[in-house]
Structure 1
């Protein structure tokens, strides 16, 4: 009971949530479907109304769907994106009541007890929900009843409002799938001739319990209100933002840095409480003339130590125009990443921390994307054995796997004069006359057929490590299919 009245629960079901989320950004006129790979087979995950009208359905093989509908447009499903979008809808639904929870992958449940009169009644409240969802381009089916199970069944199999205290009558004609049963249980009940919830209610409970266990009866009792079922609202994510107001305007750089230090201490305490670290911080300075300036700080790694972050603000704060003074400061962590608590050791700062601080400091001047590092790549082709990645968004690791040593310097192949499969005894390279003293090889490297590479279209290469009498240690290769010699690297 709620304030002397029965509980009233609303179930929101978005039957085409995934496909309509995509179509809101890129609308299409024809049939459209999202696919998901299950057990090495592409299957239909979600589709629009046009595709459903042509006879396509969820779970159908994508190959069969294309055979039925050659004009079908498709895209790979994004489960994480759908979950984030459902979280946005949950926050939107709090306009109707504070108790809103997520139900499955495409539904919401609301405890609207005592809130319907604010909208003029239950019917008017549901009509407002439908209208707003339609304006957003979303299909929505609604059910309202005394229990969570009854609202769920009505939304998916009846769509309507069950009067208070009349759950049995409202659910009697609905199929047994409305009890939130598994497909196996629904099939088992159908074999017994029980196809509606009313038929299950009128059947002796003991035989059902012996055949199906307590699950079917539990779902029936939850729908009828015999067994309570709570609506657990989702907690809002923490907001990483702090504010500081001054009784008198400030304008000195030292005063602004002192205020930033106080804000950082409060923000870092909140980050530590949630085991998170900031990657992007924004310091907003509001002036007395209602103007504002922002100092954005992008970090090379998630951080929550105020003493490490504060010096990185110095350059940005020094460029701020205070005008007639600053009367308010606000610090927000725009991008936050998980940062578990670490064991405290005798060293206050590790080498990795010092490197990240250096990258962050340089990044404030030239941009984090412009500070790059080389990372090993899984390829035996010399040109493809490494990748260049931004240092702030990559982790050093791995190693190069090569049966033979690789040169320290690698450059585009430079042709030299030579004949035969062995390195030439004398050759000219970069206007130098060189003589071969010792040659080690060959190491045959074949092209990777699965990659399109114009430089390797000619075929395989035989690589040699050549030490010259003049002191040069070069990496040469010979192309057997089109005889020729090239220099591609130099050892230290």
Structure 2
């Protein structure tokens, strides 16, 4: 009870949510199923009414379904898109009442207490929901009750039935508990409510009594509406059209300040911004800006828009400017130090400026890799992902330039006093080593099939500082790198 008002709850169940989502745009009268891989086998995840009439069911092997129904139309299920679709339906439910939440992966629950009279009463409200959802191409089952559990039970097992006459499965129990109750002869909720509670709790655990009390209203069950995600979009409508580049930048600056204030309040930073400029002829142009790092400083972001804004054709004028943070990442507050992080900020701005011209992913950087093999000790990634790498830590120095091994004529297990490399006659002045590196046995690298390598740092009289290695198993000397 809420201040003398009887609580009323509506449960919306979409028994074919996944298939309805797909068939809304591509309807068909033929049997249609969505498949999902489970335990190394494709099984039916959802199906339409025509497929059910052919004897197909959820969880059925897809190969068996094709044998039963040769003209079956199938598609791979997308649970992520189903979740997005259900979230959109939850937002649609807010037109009926402010308390709407998702119920599992295929349902909604609405607390319509005090809202039904706005739509002509409860039955008129339910009929309005049904008609709108059916016009949208969705299969719908509705249930109304004084509790969340009762509404769910009627939506799944009978909208007009009394709660006591519904099967025990209507209490949202695990299948094992429902099977155990049936073996005891308890098939209806009414039978279960008259049984002694202590033996039931000892045998089936506390969840059984909790679900029973929630359905009967003896224990409260809240409906917590989901918080709307923050929207990072700001729009400005201009009283007079503008066309000069400086005027557009001034409008973008005003929007940036407001947007960055919102980002700062959410401890977030923008990674991708979209500036939309609508002309008086209703034609819109966009300037996209991808940032090297999450940012929320308008003084740093604004100059980065200059190149894209300069390419805009204002036509007869721009009367509306909209700025949206399309991609947002977490950016918690950092401790301010005396030195600050000014050099990194300048580097990020430079990467962003270059990326706006050649593509942000084309600006690349070397990062250390977890391998002691010289050729595998680094990876090349976009510079925007460079923070994911670790530090360059090596117990022994590595040359600045590494290239494929180049053989030289030499014998013995120590660096030769004289040798020729790239048509140059060189003489060893100093040699440091060896550093033995063994191949990684879990990788089949043809360049390392010769086995161990003993690396030497060789300084020549001619000034060359080379990285040589010797292969003991198959004697030979090679040059693989050169120090700066």
Q: What is the TM-score when the length of structure 1 is the normalising length?
A: 0.77
Aligned to 1:39: none
> After superposition, what is the alpha-carbon deviation per residue over 1:425-457, rounded to whole angstroms, capped at 9, x for unaligned?
321112210123343444343333433444334
Aligned to 2:159: 161
Matched ranges for 1:346-425 at <5 A: 350-395=342-387, 397-425=389-417
CA distance 1:254–1:123, shift in 2 (3 Å)? closer
Aligned to 1:145: 144
- Quote how far apart the aligned CAs of 1:67 are: 12
Aligned to 1:477: 469
Aligned to 2:460: 468
In 1, are the aligned partners of 2:429 and 2:459 still within 8 Å (CA)? yes
- Quote how far apart the aligned CAs of 1:89 are: 4.4
Where in structure 2 are there 5+ consecutive unaligned residues?
Answer: 68-74
> After superposition, what is the alpha-carbon deviation per residue over 1:11-66, rounded to whole angstroms, capped at 9, x for unaligned?
32557859998xx99xx989943347xxxxx79998456999789959xxxxxx89
Aligned to 1:10: 11
Deviates more, 1:310-319 or 1:456-465: 456-465
Deviates more, 1:245-254 or 1:184-193: 184-193
Equivalent position SS for 1:203: coil
Equivalent position SS for 1:394: helix
In 2, are the aligned partners of 1:446 and 1:461 still within 8 Å (CA)? yes
In 2, are the aligned partners of 1:7 and 1:111 still within 8 Å (CA)? yes
CA–CA distance in structure 1, aligned partners of residues 151 and 193 of structure 2: 17
Where in structure 1 are there 5+ consecutive unaligned residues?
Answer: 37-41, 59-64, 135-139, 163-168
- Quote how far apart the aligned CAs of 1:252 are: 2.4
Aligned to 1:61: none
Deviates more, 1:175-184 or 1:319-328: 175-184
- Quote how far apart the aligned CAs of 1:143 are: 4.3
CA–CA distance in structure 2, aligned partners of residues 34 and 274 of structure 1: 38
2:110 pairs with 1:110: yes
**CA RMSD of superposed structures (Å):** 4.4
Equivalent position SS for 1:395: helix
- Quote how far apart the aligned CAs of 1:378 are: 0.6
Aligned to 1:333: 325
CA–CA distance in structure 2, aligned partners of residues 20 and 294 of structure 1: 31
Alignment: residue pair count: 464
In 1, are the aligned partners of 2:37 and 2:43 still within 8 Å (CA)? yes
CA distance 1:190–1:347, shift in 2 (3 Å)? farther
CA–CA distance in structure 2, aligned partners of residues 451 and 299 of structure 1: 37
Equivalent position SS for 2:259: helix
- Quote how far apart the aligned CAs of 1:330 are: 1.0
CA–CA distance in structure 2, aligned partners of residues 398 and 468 of structure 1: 34
- Quote how far apart the aligned CAs of 1:202 are: 2.2
CA–CA distance in structure 2, aligned partners of residues 358 and 377 of structure 1: 25
> After superposition, what is the alpha-carbon deviation per residue over 1:97-148, rounded to whole angstroms, capped at 9, x for unaligned?
65431223444323466259799674674476467455xxxxx663412132
CA distance 1:345–1:103, shift in 2 (3 Å)? farther
CA distance 1:348–1:383, shift in 2 (3 Å)? closer
In 2, are the aligned partners of 1:243 and 1:329 still within 8 Å (CA)? yes
In 2, are the aligned partners of 1:116 and 1:125 still within 8 Å (CA)? no
Deviates more, 1:361-370 or 1:179-188: 179-188
CA distance 1:453–1:234, shift in 2 (3 Å)? same
